[in-house]
Structures are given as structure tokens and as C-alpha cells.
Structure 1
Amino acid sequence: MNGALTVVIPTLNEAPALPALLALLARSALVGAVVISDGGSTDGTVAIAASHGAIVVAGGAGRGAQVSRGIAAAPSAWLLLLHADSLPQPGWDDAMSRCIASNRSGQAWYGRLRLASADPRARLIEYGAALRCALLRLPYGDQALLIHRDTLAAIGGMPTLPLMEDVALARRLGRAGLAPCDMIVMTDAAAYARDGWLRRSLRNLARLARFLAGADAVLLAAEYRR
């Protein structure tokens, strides 16, 4: 199973986070390739990716389209879709190997969110994410997603939305197509500290509710960038 996995990472000015993530991935025998799908970085992201031996593809910004381009460049059938500011925790590749070995057709797996903060409010957000996944089977992209290329093709590929592409993908897979994996993914919490823990959480929840109710992802993305 060595080298069975391609990790696909969409980036836009991720130079501070990328070296630690790429170094971690390089230490795993499971990872055969890393694809950085860049959306126009100006901070050295592309140079860092190239210096670590990653495959680099470039195009317009927008996470869904970036992930789709990265998948097209991936050399292996098994894909791990991962955010640049997320770090899989020790044992993650063993957990991935067990999922791959289970050989469950049409199945994709997501990890468990852990925020990189000692603030007690971080634990509440983690609990909320676990509850969302348990009740709705709606993992977010910062939890990572392991999926086989054939499974992705069977549901129509990666949604090329600028925002909420992770939710749209989860809805295409459906409850039966998603399962939790025994993997913790540590994600940067700086945005919560900057914007306010409660405020950002409520805005995220409102954005999800609007998307599920049919709001245009392009409009939501424009609001998100303000």
C-alpha cells in the first residue's frame, strides 16, 4: 500500500502553513504524491511547494475548482482532500490505510476536527462539528476527506463551487457514502480568535443554512471574502 495516496491541497497565500504540512506528508510511506492546486498566490506558496517536490497546478481562485484541477493532476486512485492549514495528527496514515484496506465500494471517510487552541470555546466548536457529522453527515473540508477516484466520478466529480464545495460534495455522497475515520485533523484557529469565537461560529452556521436552503454559492463566497 506504500505510495497509494495522493494528497490534494488547494492553496491561496499559504506560505506560513505549508512547510510543516508538506514535511509531515513527506514522512509517510502511504503518500505517493502531493498536488498543490494554487489559485494565484503571491507569497511564495508555489516556490515552497516546488521545493518540497509537490506537483503544482495553477489556475483561478475558488476552492472547488482548485480541488478539481488538483484531482485531475493526481497520479493515484486514492485521494486525500486536505486544507493547507490543517495538520493530520499522529497515526493518521495508519487510519487511512485501514480505510483503504476495508475496500468498501462507494465509501468516503472524514476525520475528526481539532482546533489548534487551548481556549475552551474551541472544544465547544469541535463538539458542534462532531454533532453536525453525526446528525447530518456533513463534514467540512478542514476535517479532510479520503475518497477513491471512481467513487468521485460516480457522483459527478468534485463540485466546482467557490465556497461550500465540501458540503455540496458531502450531499452528493449522501449519508450512506460517508463514514468517520479514526483520524484527528488539527486546524488553525486564528480566524476564530480574530473574528470572535461566537460571531464566527454563528456566521458559519448561518452560511450553511442559507446554502442548504438554496442560496447561490458565488454570492456566499463574495460575502465571505468581505
Structure 2
Amino acid sequence: MISIIIPVINEEMYLGRLLEYLGQHTSKSEVREILVVDGGSNDDTITVAKNFGATVIESKKGRAKQMNTGAKFATGELLYFLHVDTFPPPDFTYRILQAQKNGSEAGCFRMRFDSQSRFLKFFAWFTRINHPICRGGDQSLFISKDLFEKTNGFNEAYIIYEDVEFVARLYSKTDFMILPQYVKTSARKYRKKGMLRLQYHFGIIHLKNYLGEGPEKLYDYYQRKIAL
């Protein structure tokens, strides 16, 4: 059984579409619960979640904290972390359960953007490569609850980059699986910030992490170069 965990804050415009999609492509025989972990929304996010039958969990703000909180409350044997603007393939539950039956304790899907940009298609192509540098939260993440607990989950010191940091640790603990199907994720941040500019800054963040800079410096760079 799978517990789907979706961290949110002020996502009333996107959450309903995702929950409707999940309702169309999941069954109670495979998905035990959909947990929407709210980090303090002041819009109608919580109302939207409840209207679609999701379980709402309140958490301190911060995606790592929210996902850890969701995992704590999850009752499924498999955890599936999903961003609110990422849509998994229609048969994602079958693919995840088959991977688990074949011995995979953790993995993700390949990724596509909801954009025809050749620039974004180029970078999305690399998500098929099974290497930590090619991982990111938009690809979603499935992991056995047992392995999640053994690895202590997401490092809450990371305000950003929490997905990459966690998956890098998973690579040293298990044979991480890249499923050949695709999730489709929103390019809204690229459209808002500029594709070249945003990808450049993401590259610098990867480089800073590789050079050993900690979560505080990564977040400081993000705040100065991307968040503003």
C-alpha cells in the first residue's frame, strides 16, 4: 500500500487539479491515503484538499519538515513524495508496486516539462541517467517507509536542495531505480524567472554543494538570486 505525500503552501490554484488527477488514476486497493501536508497556507489550499478527500496534516513551514511530518503520519508501507505541480504517469501506482516487488526500495520516474522549449527538453533528457547529479524533487520519489526511517528522512537543515541531498544519501544505501515512464512537471518558475537565468542559478547551486558549501549558504544564494 502506498501513502502519497504532497507538501504545500498557498497552492489553491494547483492542488485541486492534481488531486482530481490522482483520484482518476488510483484505487483504494493500492493507495492507502493521500496526505496533504500544509506549511501554513493563508489561502483556500486546505479547503481544496478536504473537498477532494485528502487528509490534511499541519506542519511547520519548509518542504523537508513537511515531508518528514507526512512520513511520520503515513500508514502505508511505501511512501510516494509528490510536488503539487508534478503529474505522475497514469499507471504510476502499478509501476511503483512492481518496482518494489522486484526488490527496489527507492526510485523515481524520468521527467518532462509542460513546455515545448527545446532548452527545457534538453535538461529534462538527463533525468534518464542514473546518477545523483541528475536527480531532483520534481521527478517525485518513492521509498519504502522502512528505508526512509533507517536513513532519517530529509535533512531539515536544508530549506532548498533537500530532495537532492536526500537522494544522494539513498544512492549510498540502496540501488536507486529510475523508472522509464515520465512525470510531467510545471515549468511555471522557468517562465516567471527566465529559462536561461534560472537554469544558470540552479547550476551554481549544484556546484556550490559539490564544493562543500552547506545548507545555509545554498539557501542564501537562492534567496539572493532566485527568490527575489
Report 1:1-226 matches (<5 A): 4-27=1-24, 28-29=26-27, 30-104=30-104, 107-130=105-128, 133-136=129-132, 138-160=134-156, 161-174=158-171, 176-224=174-222, 225-226=227-228
User: What is the deviation of 1:68?
Assistant: 0.3
Fraction of identical pairs, as percent: 26
Q: Structure 1 residues 218 and 39 mapped into 2: Cα distance closer, same or farther (>3 Å)? A: farther
Q: Deviations 1:22-57 (Å, cap 9, x if unpaired)? A: 112223112220111111111211111111121111
Cα pair 1:82 1:145 within 8 Å, conserved: yes
Task: Spell out, residue by residue over 1:117-172, the C-alpha distance to the aligned partner (whole angstroms, 9 max, x if none).
Answer: 11222211212444xx4344641110001100111122222222211111111121
Distance of aligned partners of 1:200 and 1:128 in 2 relative to their CA distance in 1, 3 Å threshold: farther
The count of corresponding residues between Structure 1 and Structure 2 is: 219
C-alpha distance in structure 1 between counterparts of 2:69 and 2:131, whole Å: 31
Report the Cα offset of residue 221 of structure 1: 2.7
CA distance in 1, matches of 2:60, 2:68: 12
Cα RMSD after superposing both structures:
1.7
Deviates more, 1:169-178 or 1:113-122: 169-178
Q: CA deviation at 1:214?
A: 2.4
TM-score by length of 1: 0.89
Name structure 2 gaps, 5 residues minimum: none
Q: Distance in 2 between matches of 1:102 and 1:66?
A: 29
Q: What's the secondary structure of 2:218's corresponding residue?
A: helix
